[in-house]
Amino acid sequence: MIDPTKVTNFQRNPKQLEEFFLFCVAVAGKGAFQQAKKLDAFLSPFLKYGYTPFGVIRTLDMDGTLEKFLQEAKIGQYDRIASAYRAAAHFFHYDDDNDRYHPLSQVHIKYLECIRGVGMKTARFFVMHSRPNQPLACLDTHILAWLRDKGHNAPKSTPNGKKYLELEKIFLEYARSRSMSPADLDLQIWNEAHGVKTKISS
């Protein structure tokens, strides 16, 4: 199961990479701890039989039961999530668990953003916490609140387009000035907001 307090991992194996992608899609606009448990409940009955996470999605999609099982797990936003899961599991098809070069480990962020149900924030969340040294920012509500506390004109909900890129540049400068990776600063801010003891320099 995904641990929301420790999402940064640059050594995920193919199955872990697929599970993390599914989590990134499911958690958008939802509570991370709750969604991690629901995703685990959705996948676990199938994983014990040797399915990969994307293999679960493809199998349920071919059976016409993907939405049914998502609803049973109470993941929410079923149309958006099912659409994103279906597209990723088929487009980034992967069979060899011994090959470390899973398509998800290399796909350009722009291709992730082309998936219906995966926006700028979700695509960046996945890439920055699964690949090292990514100059990206996941502008969720916690990061936006943190930027407002720093005096910046950040909206309460995630913006798109130029505004997103403008705020992303500001966040990256904060990370650079602290000699931190954007992923580390992002996770520290998130943990602070959820009562996990960390220290963020001012």
Is residue 167 pLDDT above 70, yes or no? yes
48 shares its domain with 78: yes
> Based on the domain organization, do 140 and 61 belong to the same domain?
no
Q: What is the pTM of this model?
A: 0.87
- What's the rounded mean pLDDT across residues 47-68? 93
Same domain, 86 and 65: yes
Q: What is the pLDDT of residue 28?
A: 81
What's the CA gap between 174 and 7, in Å, rounded? Answer: 20
Same domain for 58 and 74, yes or no, is: yes
Q: Which of 33-42, 54-63, 181-190 has the lowest mean pLDDT?
A: 181-190
Q: Please check whether residues 197 and 108 belong to one and the same domain.
A: no
Q: What is the pLDDT of residue 191?
A: 82
Q: What percent of the chain lies above the pLDDT cut of 70? A: 92
Examine the pLDDT at 193 and tell me if it is beyond 60: yes
Q: Which domain holds residue 193?
A: 135-202
Provide the pLDDT for residue 103.
86
- pLDDT value at position 201? 40
| pLDDT the model gives residue 31 | 84
Q: Does residue 120 share a domain with residue 150?
A: no
**Last residue of some domain: 100, 116, 132?**
132
Note whether 62 and 41 are same-domain residues. Answer: yes
Q: pLDDT for 84-141, tens place per residue?
A: 999 999 988 776 655 556 888 889 999 999 999 999 999 999 999 999 989 999 998 8
Please indicate, yes or no, whether residues 83 and 153 belong to a single structural domain of this protein: no
Supply the DSSP string of 95-145, one letter for each residue: --TT-S--GGGT--HHHHHTSTT--HHHHHHHHHTTSSS-------HHHHH
If asked whether residues 38 and 102 sit together in one domain, one would say yes
Do 73 and 17 belong together in one domain?
yes
Mean pLDDT of 129-158: 92
With beta carbons less than 8 A apart as the criterion, state whether 190 and 145 touch: no
Q: Give the chain's domain count.
A: 2
Say whether both 127 and 153 belong to one domain. Answer: no
Nearest Cα neighbor of 158 from 169, 174, 142 is 142
| Same domain, yes or no: 98 and 154 | no
CATH number, position 174: 1.10.1670.10
Q: pLDDT digits over 10-50, tens only?
A: 999 889 999 999 999 998 878 888 999 999 999 999 988 98
The pLDDT value recorded for residue 29 is 77
Mean pLDDT of all residues in 168-191: 92
Q: What is the CATH number of the domain that holds 73?
A: 1.10.340
Give residue 65's pLDDT band: very low, low, confident or very high (50, 70, 90): very high
Among 93, 112, 132, the domain-final residue is: 132
